[in-house]
Amino acid sequence: MNATNPAVSICRLREMTPGKCAKTSLDLVVLAILNGKPMYGYKIMATIHKEFGVLLSPGSLYPLLHSLEEKKLVESHVEGGKKVYAATHEGRTRFQNAFTVFRTSMNQLENFMERNGKDSVNDS
C-alpha cells in the first residue's frame, strides 16, 4: 500500500472496478470476510466471487492464507475434515486500522475530485 494514500495505490483510476480493487487488496478483503465469521477456503473464494465477480483460484488464495497465518493475522483449525480460517485479534485490529485509513483516503480523494473535477468537465 502507498503510505501517503493507500486508496490511490489500491484502485488506480484506469483499474477502478470492484473486482480489480478486490484482487489488488486481497489480503484486506480476506481479513474483512474473516472479520465477520470463520470459514473455509472454498467459502472465502465463493464470497469473493459473489461480492466482486472475481473467480479466485486456490493457487491465489491458499498461499495468501498461509502468509496471513505466518503473520498471526489468521488462524486455522480442522473441522469436519476441512480447514477453517478465522481472523485473530491482531488480524481484526489490522483490518480495522486499514479500513480507517482506506475510508479516510477515499474521502480525501472524493473531496479532491469534487472540488477539481467539476470545472474540468464543464470546460470540455
Is 112 among the domain residues? no
pLDDT at 119 over 70: no
Enclosing domain of residue 31: 7-107
Torsion, Cα 21 27 28 33, to 10 degrees, reads 100
| CATH, residue 68 | 1.10.10.10
Residue 1 resides in a domain: no
Q: What is the secondary structure of 25-82 as a DSSP string?
A: THHHHHHHHHHH--EEHHHHHHHHHHHH-----HHHHHHHHHHHHHTTSEEEEEETTE
Could you tell me if 54 and 19 are in contact, meaning their C-beta atoms sit under 8 angstroms apart?
Answer: yes
Q: Could you report the per-residue pLDDT of 45-89, keeping only the tens digit for each? A: 999 999 888 888 899 899 999 999 999 999 999 999 999 999 999
Which residue in the block uniquely carries the three cell numbers 480495522? 96
Residue 44 lies in a domain: yes
The model's confidence at residue 107, banded by pLDDT at 50, 70 and 90, is: confident
Confidence of residue 109 (pLDDT cuts 50, 70, 90): confident
Flag whether 95 is in a domain: yes
